[in-house]
Amino acid sequence: MGNQVRFGVIGWGYWGPKIARNISSLSYATMSFICDMDENRLAQVAMDYPMARVSAQPADLFASDVDCVVIATPVRTHYALAREALLRGKHVLVEKPLTASVAEAEELVALAERSHLVLMVGHTFEYSPAVNELRTLVREGELGRIYCIETERLNLGLFRNDIDVIWDLAPHDVSILNYVLGEEPISVRVSAHGHLRAAIADNAHLDLQYANGATAHIHVSWMHPTKVRRVTLIADDRMAVYDDTNPQEMLRLFNKGADVGADPVISYRHGAITIPHIEWVEPLRLECEDFANAIRNGTTPRAHGGVGLAVVRILAAAQESLLSGGAVVSLASHATLVEGASTGALRVAQTNAPVDAQTGVHAG
Ligand SMILES: NC(=O)c1ccc[n+]([C@@H]2O[C@H](COP(=O)([O-])OP(=O)(O)OC[C@H]3O[C@@H](n4cnc5c(N)ncnc54)[C@H](O)[C@@H]3O)[C@@H](O)[C@H]2O)c1
């Protein structure tokens, strides 16, 4: 291969060109081949990337000399395209979510492993400097015991036809939670509605329960008047708000809280708000770098296939909950820790409440 990584991109819609822009900013990467089934979109490619070959057929790209393929097509196509790319000996970066089912994700992970090829998923926020700062604070116990985390990803649109809002937007929040906590939930429960089209949920609430008693709530919506991209972390020492729409104050730490006194009287703390300095680099650039470096150096990328599979498992359980009218679906039986062993640095809310074997939920 030499040291220059030859990239192919499949899918030239909203996201594909953004990935290509970041790939071409890397000195050791070349945008070699771009594929989209829509010929009109390919006409635009020729203007922006005159050196790249183009085709409407993924088979032409797979038969070419590209070292790797980025798949930025609708979710229902991820599995078949990624499988074919791996079978043709290409390293693969698949956009989020990795696949539309657990079985598909498991097969891709096994195939990549057998073939000694890199399989990575586009969990862009795991490369966000602000998310990484939050993760460090949590892992080092800087915020104290974590009670709960609330995430909001709200917007008007973009309505998709092949998937609901859970499969479209929640991959980001689930991947942030897995990455920051280093731990996966033991159960999930969903309430969701399709306001515009009854069969496709456009507003959803996911309740996640962790083995140590901590909880998380994910709200995703295509039916909201303003753009919200927020993670609020409630802990006993300090609280944190990560707002991805506020570049000046993306992460704020609140020295705020409440304690139960001896009486019992609730006492409140209202301390300073601090805003850590965060050196900003575009997350998508870091993601592309990680992928290219994994190919060049044989390293394991941060958002490797197993990380993508872990998120798909939680999305599939959420889908099961939705289909069963909001039942609590246990993940405990097939939970895999994101990074192998649980981190000792994560001090989360402890509970002595017994776990219901059926639901995975703590009593009381
Ligand atoms: N990581 C992120 O932050 C992020 C952001 C947006 C989208 N995405 C993901 O990127 C992917 C694409 O999303 P989008 O918004 O760009 O969609 P889009 O509909 O705008 O673009 C998809 C493109 O793929 C092409 N296409 C579809 N099937 C094809 C096939 N079999 N062969 C070749 N071309 C094909 C379509 O013609 C279209 O141009 C999705 O998986 C989405 O979840 C990720």
Give per-residue pLDDT as tens, 12-58: 999 999 999 999 999 999 999 999 999 999 988 888 899 999 999 99
CB 244 within 8 A of CB 154: no
Q: Which percentage of the chain shows pLDDT scores above 90?
A: 84
Q: Is the minimum distance from the CB of 96 to ligand 1 under 6 angstroms? A: yes
Residue 356 has pLDDT above 80, yes or no: no
pLDDT the model gives residue 2:
56
- Is the separation of the CB atoms in 66 and 8 below 8 Å? yes
Tell me, using a 6 A CB cutoff, whether residue 35 lines ligand 1: yes
What pTM was computed for the model? 0.91
The architecture of the domain spanning 5-124+283-311 is 3-Layer(aba) Sandwich (3.40)
Paired residues of 92 in beta bridges: 69, 119
Average pLDDT over every residue of 289-315 = 97
Helix 75-87 vs helix 102-115: crossing angle, to nearest 10: 20
pLDDT greater at residue 353 or residue 42? 42
The whole-number pLDDT of residue 204 equals 98
Strand partners, 259: 267
Q: Percentage of residues in the chain with pLDDT exceeding 70?
A: 91
pLDDT averaged over every residue in the chain:
90
- In this structure, are residues 286 and 303 in contact, taking their beta carbons and an 8 Å threshold? no
| In the predicted structure, residue 289 carries a pLDDT above the cut 50 | yes
Which pLDDT score, from 0 to 100, does residue 186 have? 97
* Range list for CATH 3.40.50.720 in the chain: 5-124+283-311
Pocket lining: 133 vs ligand 1, CB cutoff 6 Å? no
Other C-beta atoms lying within 10 Å of the C-beta of residue 305: 28
> Which pLDDT score is estimated for 333?
58
Residues 126-281+326-334: name the CATH superfamily: Dihydrodipicolinate Reductase; domain 2 (3.30.360.10)
Rounded to the nearest angstrom, the distance between the alpha carbon of 331 and the centre of ligand 1 is: 29
Give the mutation target among 73, 75, 172 for probing the ligand 1 site: most ligand atoms within 8 A of CB. 73
Q: Sheet holding 329-330: strands in order across? A: 266-274, 251-260, 239-243, 223-235, 146-156, 215-221, 203-209, 187-193, 329-330
pLDDT of 47 reads 85
Half-sphere exposure of 238 (CA within 13 A, CB side): 19
Give start-end residues of each CATH 3.30.360.10 domain in the chain.
126-281+326-334
